Amino acid sequence: MPRKIIIDTDPGVDDAMAIFFALCSPELDLIGLTTIFGNVHTALATKNALNLLEIAGRGDIPVAPGASDALTRPFAGPVPAVHGADGQGEVNLPAPTGKPLNISAAEFIIERLRAQPGEITLVPIGPLTNIALALRLEPRIADWAREVVLMGGNALAPGNASPAAEANIRNDPEAADLVFGAGWQVTMVGLDVTLRAHITPAHIADYAEHGNPMSAHIARIVPHYQRYYEANYDVGGLFSHDSSAIAYLLAPELFKLRRWPIRVGTRGLGRGKTWPATGRRILPEWEGRPLVNVCVGIDGARTVDLQSERLRGA
Ligand code: RIB
Ligand code: CA
């Protein structure tokens, strides 16, 4: 049986790649998208999510719109230089034909997990606000979810949104601290590994040759994102952040894990930093926290090739 997943997303160029990667993988059954602010405001994230499913010919998959602001403060706004003002590399997609559900992301998550306890994996690839809101509304989702596999955080690696913090966590650290502290199994696919999943210019050129609508869309939206990475990371190509979470679901053997409790910084320069308790001595702030599967190693080349193979075969 394919593994049921709900992707919580702020599309986003790498979000689009991750959503298509999941749709091209028969091991996974994408039962819904929930949308969140981050790369764009939530309204635009919802429009992009609907458009991506229509490009993939999967307009049947529901989209539930999520929160517009973080738990404790307004969303600070997107950074268009990274994903484009439209979140899709400035290709300015037309309005989607479909409409989102009229229930919130949190309600959708609760409803689906209640209906199929133990069967659904949550895959957040944006800020964790919707997941935290769902936990607050119905704490039992921590028992009902099969697992949470998220793209976010940085255990031992530097941040990208600040020297301390990774973008998804920094956009709502309070939500992230709740998610890492609930009683479910969380797997953190963070910058420690995603900055080692390097999509080269050759991989990118290959997408344009695949001859299917999803790969063609990727080829259209990637150049803007690639220019950002080449200007800021002095590297050709780009990094496969969100898709690495999908790759973990498909091929966990490509990853090396350590199990540590995680706390999230919420103040000052360290706001948004994910702090693992890596030593034997557990301080009170980490006492009793669940152990998180923290990805600390990756076969980056194989991860990136797996995504290309699945999209080529779409
Ligand atoms: O830090 C990378 C994360 O921030 C990815 O999810 C990307 O889409 C952005 O949301
Ligand atoms: Ca994202």
Region 245-258: what's the mean pLDDT? 98
pLDDT exceeds cutoff 90 at 252: yes
DSSP the chain: -PEEEEEEE---HHHHHHHHHHHT-TTEEEEEEEE-SSSS-HHHHHHHHHHHHHHTT-TTS-EEE--SS-SSS------HHHH-TTSSTT--PPPPSS---SS-HHHHHHHHHHHSTTTEEEEE-S-SHHHHHHHHH-TTHHHH-SEEEEE---SSS--SSSSS--HHHHT-HHHHHHHHHSSS-EEEE-HHHHTT-EE-HHHHHHHTTS-SHHHHHHHHHHHHHHHHHHHHS--SSEE-HHHHHHHHHH-GGGEEEEEEEEEE--SGGGTT-EEE--SSS--GGGTTPPEEEEEEEE-HHHHHHHHHHHHHT-
Contact 39 CB / ligand 1 (< 6 Å): yes
Confidence at residue 233, expressed as pLDDT on a 0 to 100 scale: 87
Domain ranges of the chain: 3-312
Confidence at residue 74, expressed as pLDDT on a 0 to 100 scale: 98
Contact 261 CB / ligand 1 (< 6 Å): no
Q: How far is CA 258 from CA 10, 148, 190, 297, in A?
A: 27, 16, 12, 9
Whole-number average pLDDT of the chain: 97
What's the 36 CA to ligand 2 centre distance in angstroms? 9
Task: Choose the catalytic residue: 10, 15, 177, 242.
Answer: 10
Options 3.90.1720.10, 3.30.70.260, 3.30.70.2470, 3.90.245.10; which CATH number does 3-312 get?
3.90.245.10
Task: Choose the catalytic residue: 41, 203, 217, 241.
Answer: 241
Confidence at residue 234, expressed as pLDDT on a 0 to 100 scale: 80
Q: Which residues surround ligand 2, an ion (CB under 5 A)?
A: 10, 12, 15, 125-126, 242
Atom of ligand 1 nearest to the CA of 39: 10
Active site annotation includes 217: no
CA-closest residue to ligand 1 atom 1:
167
Write the pLDDT tens digit of every residue in 70-126: 999 999 999 999 999 999 999 999 999 999 999 999 999 999 999 999 999 999 999
Q: Which residue has the tokens 């981050």?
A: 38
What's the 287 CA to ligand 2 centre distance in angstroms? 30
Active site annotation includes 41: no
If we measure between CA atoms, which residue out of 167, 118, 164, 173 comes closest to residue 141?
Answer: 118
Query: Cβ(218)–Cβ(207) under 8 Å?
Result: yes
What's the 125 CA to ligand 2 centre distance in angstroms? 5
Q: Which of 162, 168, 233 to mutate to test the pocket of ligand 1 (most atoms within 8 A of CB)?
A: 168
Confidence at residue 213, expressed as pLDDT on a 0 to 100 scale: 97
Region 51-67: what's the mean pLDDT? 98
